[in-house]
Amino acid sequence: MQITILTGAGISAESGIPTFRGTGGLWEGQRVEDVATHEAWLRDKQFVLDFYNQRRQAVKKAQPNKAHLALAALQKHHHIQIITQNIDDLHERAGSENVMHLHGEIFKSRSERNNNLISICNDDINLGDVAEDGAQLRPHIVWFGEEVPMLEPAIALTELSDIVVIIGTSMLVYPAASLLHYAPEGTPIYIINPQIPDMQKKSNYTFIEKNASDGVEEFIADILKIN
């Protein structure tokens, strides 16, 4: 049985990583338009690099929480495919093996000229740090307005799902939110979030209005009954 799990900022928030859409549309005190768009990059590369360098250091200090660990443990019983909107590596550090990052990864960098020139990045990126093609390195993050190259592979995985679980996301960020519509007709859908998004409830939907750790625990208990 394949369980496809779509995770958002809510699962990492329990590890101390702030959600992307914070109060007033700010992320870590910055307007999204100033740190997560190509226009912001062209306007002030140093500012954008500094912002992501700080995020990278923060992720290094964070630890996987109970939800990350529980999903990793579930691999022993089912085929688990995680599709995450998060740029951190907490799923991997918890032990999950099949993780697809829709919006990029904080521990990777790429050429600002060639999206396919991607490299590991565990430390700061500075002005003057260049890729193989001689172009400035930038964070390997999908900014607003940019294409999401992993969307098609994510759709293909979702279409193979026996169960779909959505954890810690408002389902407001597109195109990621559209993945739900690619699950096979009648597939059991679990929505885990402290505030359930405003959406039409269907007979195959189960809403778990809890934080990620408690909600994942309830979900796992539920599917163990089924099996």
- Residues assigned a catalytic role: 103
Radius of gyration of the chain (CA): 18
Token code pair at residue 89: 């590596």
Measured CA to CA, the distance from residue 142 to residue 144 in angstroms comes to 7
Beta bridge partners of residue 101, listed in sequence order: 84
Query: What is the helix (H) or strand (E) element at residue 213, kind and residue range?
Result: helix 212-226
Measured CA to CA, the distance from residue 100 to residue 56 in angstroms comes to 19
Name 18's Cβ contacts closer than 8 Å, sequence gap at least 6: 9, 27, 28
| 99-101, strands of its sheet edge to edge | 99-101, 79-84, 2-7, 163-167, 189-192, 205-208
